Amino acid sequence: EAARDAWSCSSCTLVNACGTSRCEACGAPYARNDNIGEMPAEHGRLSLAQLRGLAPLPPKKLTEEEWVGVETEALLRGDVTGCCSICMEELGTSDQVILSCSHTFHAACIASFERFLRTKARTCPMCRHASYQKKVTSVGVITKRQECARAAQATVRM
């Protein structure tokens, strides 16, 4: 099989790394989309009104540069080193997911939050931003490791 780029889960929109066969957040399998013809490639995710041009299409997926901007915004605001606003525990070095609105959560917490929503319309637990995109991020883990290394070095130097 040809190498593929990062892929977006059709169930939860998480952008997964290439080579993974299942979504890292919800566990949905990778589904290749080979639709050719009159229908748009993403027709499985569009409503009939969107296909007919009666309703607006969903927003385009964020580019890698836009994701870097989202991660930078979260880093400057201090979200990546704080606590998860769903479980209220420190983000630490566990798996983290960043949303397109730049809020960061534990991967398991946001997956659980989405699983138990009573509506299909997903909104950010913090700012209620509708129809967000999400991506696994390591910015918070790297920052936490650097903080721990500084603390250890400061203790040794004393």
Q: What is the pLDDT of residues 84-94, one digit of tens each?
A: 889 988 887 78
Angle between helices 64-77 and 139-157 (to 10 degrees): 40
Own/partner long-range contacts of 32-37 (Cβ < 8 Å, ≥24 apart) = none
Confidence of residue 55 (pLDDT cuts 50, 70, 90): confident
Mean pLDDT for 138-155 is: 80
Question: Which residues, in sequence order, are CB contacts of 37 under 8 Å at separation 6+?
Answer: none
Q: What are the backbone angles phi and psi of residue 126, rounded to the nearest 5°?
A: -90, -55
Contact 34, 87 (CB under 8 A): no
Q: What are the b/e assignments for 106-115, b being 16+ CB within 10 Å? A: bbebbbebbe
Give yes or no for residue 36 having a pLDDT over 50.
no
Confidence of residue 32 (pLDDT cuts 50, 70, 90): low
